[in-house]
């Protein structure tokens, strides 16, 4: 089974169960936290990926970390995935669940990269722009990239707006390489 099919199958089952039990928002919060922990804490991610540590010990560690904070549905789901020996894919399943949740709630994820921190007013205008283009609710993530000279890069759905100065300079550079002013024989 391909990774994409596997992650969708598990995440879809969790989404359906959470909706059925009326716990969608709670489960979503749990999975968001789990995913961000996997991204930020390399030790947790390594624990899930290592074949050296047995599953029952991995599950005990996860229970110690999350049992008090996570809902019963989320903990049972993690236990099930561990029992099926799919713990290697828990991070990917969590990512797939987050995407399916956003699709279910009609939310588009947008990523805005700027050279400097921007005001909430500008963020609000960007959200409004994305909302008018996608006709969906917007979840905007803003990142500051000091390597960027200026401008911004906006990415959502299948759209990429690169209005960065570095991109504009690259376009100029390519234009100068062509040297359109020399007569071609």
Residues 93 and 67 grouped into a single domain: yes
Q: Which of these, 162, 85, 153, lies nearest to 118 by C-alpha position? A: 153
pLDDT tens column, 37-86: 888 888 888 888 888 888 888 888 888 888 888 889 999 999 898 888 88
Phi-psi region of 26 (alpha: psi -120 to 50; beta: other; left: phi over 0): alpha
CA dist 114 and 111 (Å) reads 10
**Residues near 111 by beta carbon (within 8 Å), at least 6 away in sequence:** 140, 141, 143, 153, 154, 155, 156
The domain in which residue 50 lies consists of: 3-103
The pair of structure tokens assigned to 25 is: 């928002």
For tokens 């099930």, name the residue. Answer: 80
183 lies in a domain? Answer: no
74 lies in a domain? Answer: yes
Residues 26 and 91 grouped into a single domain: yes
Over residues 11-16, the mean pLDDT reads 92
The structure's pTM equals 0.76
pLDDT tens column, 18-41: 999 999 999 999 999 999 988 888
What pLDDT score does 182 carry? Answer: 64
Determine contact, residues 111/143, Cβ cutoff 8 Å: yes
């Amino acid at each position: 089974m391909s990774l994409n099919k596997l992650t969708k199958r598990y995440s879809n089952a969790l989404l359906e169960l959470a909706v059925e039990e009326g716990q969608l928002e709670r489960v979503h919060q749990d999975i968001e936290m789990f995913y961000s922990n996997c991204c930020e804490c390399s030790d947790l991610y390594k624990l899930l990926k290592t074949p050296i540590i047995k599953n029952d010990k991995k599950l005990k560690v996860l229970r110690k970390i999350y049992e008090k904070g996570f809902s019963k549905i989320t903990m049972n789901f993690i236990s099930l995935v561990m029992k099926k020996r799919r713990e290697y894919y828990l991070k990917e399943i969590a990512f797939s669940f987050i995407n399916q949740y956003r699709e279910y709630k009609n939310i588009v994820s947008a990523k805005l990269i700027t050279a400097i921190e921007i005001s909430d007013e500008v963020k609000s205008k960007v959200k409004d722009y994305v909302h008018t283009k996608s006709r969906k609710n917007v979840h905007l993530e803003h990142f500051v990239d000091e390597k960027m000279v200026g401008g911004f890069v906006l990415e959502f759905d299948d759209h990429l707006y690169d209005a960065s100065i570095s991109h504009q300079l690259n376009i100029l550079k390519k234009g100068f390489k062509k040297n359109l002013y020399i007569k071609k024989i």
